[in-house]
Amino acid sequence: MATQATGARSATLVRDTNETKIQLSINLDGGALAPLPNAAAAASDSSEHAAQNSASQQISINTGIGFLDHMLHALAKHAGWSLAIHATGDLHIDDHHTAEDTCIALGTAFKQALRTTTGLARWGYAYCPLDEALSRAVVDLSNRPYCVAELGLKREKIGDLSCEMIPHCFESFAQHAGVTLHVDCIRGFNDHHRAESAFKATAVALRMACATVKGREGEVPSTKGVLF
């Protein structure tokens, strides 16, 4: 279930299954966030891994998977979003359901918040380094969900997040956001650096794609005349 504040590129969402329970609030332009539906329960959890408040952004992420929190924090920070996520899941089994469902919820809320591509750049691309690692991301707000994520990760896990789940997180987000996403780590030997540079590149590409284009207000960036 998702709701949206009038006039803002924002949404709140609750996704509740037998495997995970997720609350999410997003504002694609930063600034104020609508409170989570069960804000008291989220605030009472002292195990929060990723939180940062500034004049332009509010970020608070707690999925129970520290490295996932770190990556989603980087994604929100460099995309310019305000983002709050509180997720609980069956981590006694493994990290799969929690990581997957969190990224499904994020993609769903992103699409709900974006509302339309009218007047937007539509495409975005970025190269982002992190020390020896360099990643490239290309985004199309196409309403044709597709993802290719080639990160070349070698380790079994980074922290508590399985490396096999990292490309799957990109896939889950793209599928439910309705975007085409290509993200590749071009070089690097440290898997933490490779993964983080990929999330940062994706963030910057999304920020570019979602930007409004002066003089193209009311125009759909497609020869078909429709995307969303």
Residue 15 parent element (H or E): strand 10-16
Q: Where are the alpha helices (DSSP H) in 1-147?
A: 39-43, 66-79, 96-114
Burial classification of residue 223, based on how many CB atoms lie within 10 Å of its CB (0-12 exposed, 13-18 middle, 19 or more buried): exposed
Closest CA to 102 of 67, 126, 140: 67
Dump pLDDT digits (tens) for 9-33: 999 999 999 999 999 999 999 999 9
CATH of 10-210 among 2.90.10.10, 3.30.1370.100, 3.10.20.30, 3.30.230.40: 3.30.230.40
Dump pLDDT digits (tens) for 72-130: 999 999 999 999 999 999 999 999 999 999 999 999 999 999 999 999 999 999 999 99
Whether 46 has a pLDDT exceeding 70, the answer reads: no
Q: How confident is the model at residue 4 (pLDDT cuts 50, 70, 90)?
A: low
Dump pLDDT digits (tens) for 164-222: 999 999 999 999 999 999 999 999 999 999 999 999 999 999 999 999 999 888 878 77
Buried (b) or exposed (e) across 89-126, using 16+ Cβ within 10 A? bebeeebbbbbbbbbbbbbbbbbbbbeebbbbbbebeb
The mean per-residue pLDDT over the stretch 32-52 comes to: 73
